Structure 1
């Protein structure tokens, strides 16, 4: 009977430790939420360490390429609206035959820009991916020999093409994913 209780208590102890670590990690994330600039500076420093590791070790180009593709995917999700106007236009076209768009007149409904991927989740996913990539550079199994200039050129082409498409989408549906602050109006402007 004691042998049966022992694995259950070991499992319970591991679960308790995992829950404790999870709560501590979430508390750290919650404390870092208002410090946007410091979070991104830390992520940038971590990215510099990763690229320095790849540069000085002269390897792990596949890991760097995969990280670049993943970060590009995150960035595109960060730029896109949660409710895509192109999808709504297609839905409206199928429902009543009229092509819907974002409000352009004073009497139309105001719709604020809501990101598909919020800034905090973007930061958290990017930091986690950079950390995992950095850890991967310490294992030889991930050091696949490739001709890295081809990967760099392919990533640049992919970046240019996807950003061109995203910018065209932003122009077509007239939305800007960034705000610099509250708009200030002078007395002379009307």
Structure 2
């Protein structure tokens, strides 16, 4: 029997594993640098838009990228546990007459936990921009469309979705950002 094919297969899996380890090492190094990561992603997005504007194509890819980024952003803004579902569960337990936990927001501090953490949001956004950029290298993905219709539709979709999300945030009184958070760092007091 020939032993070359299993050896080649083992080499492939070893190389794949080595690449995955290098990629994970890079992600581990950039994790604490939030601002720099987002600046990199912003620059990448600007380069992508310049590519699309100069080439005058790939509007479907851009529209799909916009929808995906909007979906990621909404997941980033939403709490991990939906307050509307928690309110329903509290109402059902009160109807059954069983013991219940405090229901007022003043009774207990509950930190905001995102459905999609910031790092995963950044990572998925950056990967999607890279994939969209790679799609612009092939004419197969350059489907001719009337782009103003896609732009108008995306703007309307964005406005309706964000209006709904802001109403949800107001109704259940949560803020997904740390506004006015106290900082406990090295401050010199005189």
Q: How much is the aligned-residue C-alpha RMSD, in angstroms? A: 1.9
* Structure 1 residue aligned with 2:127: 128
TM-aligned CA distance change 1:145 to 1:9, over 3 Å: same
Return the alpha-carbon distance in structure 1 between the equivalents of residues 65 and 102 of structure 2: 35
Which of 22, 25, 28 is equivalent to 1:24? 22
- Equivalent position of 2:89 in the other structure: 91
Equivalent residues in 2 for 1:21-170, closer than 5 Å: 21-97=19-95, 103-105=104-106, 108-170=107-169
CA distance in 1, matches of 2:118, 2:11: 35
85-94 or 175-184, which deviates more: 175-184
1:168-187 correspondence runs (5 A): 168-183=167-182
What is the rounded CA distance, in whole Å, between the counterparts of 1:101 and 1:77 in structure 2? 27
TM-score (norm: length of structure 1): 0.90
1:11-60 CA-to-partner distances (Å, cap 9, x unmatched) read 10000000000000000000000100110000001000110010000000
On the 8 A contact 2:102/2:108 being kept in 1, the answer is no
Aligned counterparts of 1:176 and 1:100: Cα–Cα separation in 2: 22
1:33-92 deviation per Cα after TM superposition (whole angstroms, max 9, x unaligned) = 010011000000100011001000000000000000000000000000001101111222
- Compute the displacement of 1:103 (Å): 3.9
| Residue 176 to residue 13, structure 1, CA distance change in 2 (3 Å) | same
Q: What are structure 1's unaligned runs of at least 5 residues?
A: 185-190
Deviation at 1:6, TM superposition (A): 1.3
Tell me if the contact between 1:85 and 1:102 (Cα under 8 Å) persists in the aligned partners: no
Deviation, 1:102, is 6.5
Q: Distance in 2 between matches of 1:110 and 1:104?
A: 7
State the aligned residue count.
Answer: 180
Query: In the TM superposition, what is the alpha-carbon distance from 1:95 to its structure 2 partner?
Result: 3.4
